[in-house]
Amino acid sequence: MALTARPDKGGSGPSGADRAAATGEGSGGSGSEPVAGLILLDKPAGWTSHDCVARIRRLAGTKKVGHAGTLDPAATGLLVVGVGRATRLLTYLVGLDKAYQATIRLGAATTTDDAEGQVTFGAPAASLPLEQVLAAMVPWRGRVRQVPSAVSAVKVDGRRSYARVRAGESVDLAAREVVITRFELLEVRAEGDFLDADVVVECSSGTYVRALARDLGASLGVGGHLTELRRLRVGPFEVEEAPALEELAADFAVRSPAWAARRLWPEWRLTAEEARRLAQGQRLALASSPPNGLPKLADSGGGADGIGRGEPGGPSGEAEGREPAGGGSGPLVAGIGPDGGLVGLVRIEGAVARPVAVFA
């Protein structure tokens, strides 16, 4: 099976007007309530995640736009963008598991663990037996300790690691635990002395695919780095659902917060009175049975529950998550009003539903 990628439709990079939008030029100023929702975008190569946000600010007419996990300019694929009040949902999306399709070049290690860096070590890899490559991949599945790439956004004494590297400093980062649920080889092909390996990676937030390429090459004794990266999935959201930038510009539309919340959490259909009280930030007392007959409510605390806003992943395009402030032990539930809109997220704590975020 060969690695395939959707053709980039956004051109080689943003225009000057799109870059100007990053400072707010051209954004709406009518004072009207901006649109609120999520956008699933298929990011083109040549654009930074910030460039994409700037373009969407112009399309939406509001500066209140953010994204749930950086993608490097050279990378393509799914970028989840929040607009208006829905940017508050991004806190719960950054820590979702992700899936990538990537190409690892075996035969050379680089300073950045990707194709933009300078080669630091290399050995002929084109004749590596397939069985040897497959065997070297096995230890990198499951719960593993991974050292982030030196050009990641990890802070060292208050400064981003990539900033220190670009300033000529040497950086040593501590290993951290990540979970790689899938690391599958799709195809290999010789390119001169190199061996290019097309892979699929499914992993926890905080996993660096560049570091995985580096470590695979090191374990084979030939060096390795990442040459292509495409994000296929963020939690339940798939890149197949995402339009390209030019398609979004021609037909600008957002997904409602309720649409996103239903994909992530159990749905609690609120009465008009419950919706009013939740919109005011009031706690709701529950009967002994789960709200609206949700029998598995107590077991549904997975997904994005308990995950906070992450730091941009820097040049490689991955993101790391952090624990949120004010977490809790109970499951999150999406409170949906009589009109079908998302009123808020609540945490079920015994016989009480405690508001966590209000969107009404």
> Which positions are annotated as active-site residues?
72
Q: How far apart (Å, rounded) are the C-alpha atoms in residues 307 and 321?
A: 7
Q: How far apart (Å, rounded) are the C-alpha atoms in residues 222 and 212?
A: 14
Q: Do the beta carbons of residue 255 and residue 38 sit within 8 Å?
A: yes
β-strand partners of 4? none
Where does residue 212 rank: exposed (0-12), middle (13-18), buried (19+ CB within 10 A)? buried
For the chain, the C-alpha Rg in angstroms (whole number) is 22
State phi, psi for 232 to the nearest 5 degrees: -95, -30
